[in-house]
Amino acid sequence: MNTLSYRTQSANSDSIKRDWYLVDAEHMTLGRMSSEIAKILRGKHKAYFTPHVDCGDYVIVINAEKVKLTGNKVTDKKYVSYTGYPGGQRVKTPQQLLASKPHSVVERSVRGMLPKNRLGRAMFKKLFVYAGPDHPHNAQKPKSLKF
C-alpha cells in the first residue's frame, strides 16, 4: 500500500528569509496602515507562517507626521501614560503627540496589534519609524509597499 505522508512544515530560525519593506505613511489612515504593518511584522503574509516563531519581515515607515486619523480622533483620542509617581498620570491627544513625537503615534498603534509577550517584543524591534522622508536603511534595498 502506497501511503503519501504530507506533513505541515513549521518554520524555524534557519528556514526564515527576511525582507525589508518601505511604507510611505503620507495620506494613509493610521489604523488601516498599522494593521497591514503588523501583519508583515508577524509574517502572516508568508506561506510558512508559524504562530510561535518570529518569521516576519522588517518594515520602515517614513513620513509618520503626515498620517491621517479619521473622525474626531485627532482631538478626542487619548494616549495615557503613567510615570509611577503619585499624580503622575499624563494624557496627550494625537494632535499633541504628532507635534512632539510623530513616530510615537505609529509605533503605539502597531505595538497594540502585536502579541503581548516576548515574541511580540521581538517583532516590534523590526519596525523603524521616521517622521520625515529620509531613512538610513538604503543599504538594505527595501521594497516599496502599497496598501
User: Above 90 in pLDDT, residue 45?
Assistant: yes
Length reported for the chain: 147
Q: Assign residue 44 a region: left if phi > 0, alpha if psi is -120 to 50, beta otherwise? A: alpha
Whether 17 is covered by a domain: the verdict is no
The structural domain count of the chain equals 1
Whether 3 is covered by a domain: the verdict is no
CATH of residue 56: 3.90.1180.10
Domain that holds residue 45: 24-144
* Spatial distance between the Cα atoms of 88 and 114, rounded to a whole number of angstroms: 27
State which H helix or E strand residue 122 sits in. helix 118-124
Q: pLDDT band at residue 9, thresholds of 50, 70 and 90?
A: confident
> Average pLDDT of 94-119?
96
The phi, psi pair for 14, rounded to 5°, reads -80, -30
Whether 97 is covered by a domain: the verdict is yes
Q: pLDDT band at residue 10, thresholds of 50, 70 and 90?
A: confident
pLDDT in tens, 87-105: 999 999 999 999 999 999 9
Whether 16 is covered by a domain: the verdict is no
According to DSSP, residue 86 is labeled T
User: Above 80 in pLDDT, residue 1?
Assistant: no
State which H helix or E strand residue 97 sits in. helix 94-100
Whether 129 is covered by a domain: the verdict is yes
State which H helix or E strand residue 107 sits in. helix 102-111
* Spatial distance between the Cα atoms of 45 and 68, rounded to a whole number of angstroms: 25
Non-local (6+) Cβ contacts of 8 within 8 A are: none
pLDDT in tens, 15-38: 899 999 999 999 999 999 999 999
